[in-house]
Amino acid sequence: MATPIRRSNRSDRRVSPVFLGIVAVMAVTGWAVWTEFAASTGFAVFLFVTSAWVVSLCLHEYAHARTALHGGDISVGAKGYLTLNPLKYTHALLSIVLPVVFVIMGGIGLPGGAVFIERGRIRGRWKHSLISAAGPLTNALFAVVCTAPFWLNALDGVPYGFRYALGFLALLQVTAAILNALPVPGLDGYGVVEPWLSYKVRRQVEPFAPFGLLAVFVLLFVPEVNALFFDAIDAVLRGLGVSGFETACGQDLYRFWQDTNPLCEPGAVRLGP
């Protein structure tokens, strides 16, 4: 039986200063990349992509919480999930820190932790599925926005550094959307199908949920699986107008502590688009 909670108030839905600060960092560093104002383009790209990635993580979790609120779980307001404050998540380390570390180490947009939804307050299998699907759909929408200049053929005047940064950010969003949509216990994809499974199957799968993300991470180290996965990612990005060269240069600039490919540097002579 769900425990009673206090009535929500306006402060439960007021956008957190923490989130606004992250957005400010994203805006300022994005401007620095666009204008090439920063002394180090790579460092500016690092800050821009990292802050934008954290913003997308916050929006991912907000989408879960907001959908749950409309589905019947009014407890999400009192828990602070509607403020977009990443420090309010159930596991701040898993939700924010770990995904950022994965981006830095491997350029993969692995999904993070989760907001705690009181599923007992929600009635209807479709509502449960929609709550789980809301997160990956947010990443997919973020990817569409990032790639809009590419598939709209609106790249004239867009500086190459900013263009590459958007390409790499889109890569992170697409990987996050696809990985999180996998029907693996512990990931959102499984949350979509779980309400439609029998009680017996759900009980049998439940012990494996904490290890789902770890299993996916381990599988990505298998060369054949890794190649197949990134071929699929490249196909999606090409469909959105982003080339492999652009995403590679974005990741190259992002890793400012390493030597940068001269072709990715601002002002480099390029052949073709």
Annotated catalytic residues are 61
**Residue 146 contacts residue 169 (beta carbons within 8 Å):** yes
Q: Which of 26, 183, 47, 156 is nearest to 103 (CA)?
A: 47
Tokens found for residue 252: 């190259």
**Residue 171 contacts residue 250 (beta carbons within 8 Å):** yes
What are the Cα distances from residue 94, in Å, to 47, 119, 168, 245?
A: 20, 21, 22, 31
Phi, psi of 240 (to 5 degrees): -95, 5
Distance CA 190, CA 54 (A): 23
The residue type of 116 is: F
Helix axes 223-239 and 244-254, enclosed angle (nearest 10): 110
Tokens found for residue 85: 């404050």
List CB contacts of 17: < 8 A, sequence separation 6 or more.
none
What are the Cα distances from residue 222, in Å, to 31, 119, 190?
A: 39, 35, 22
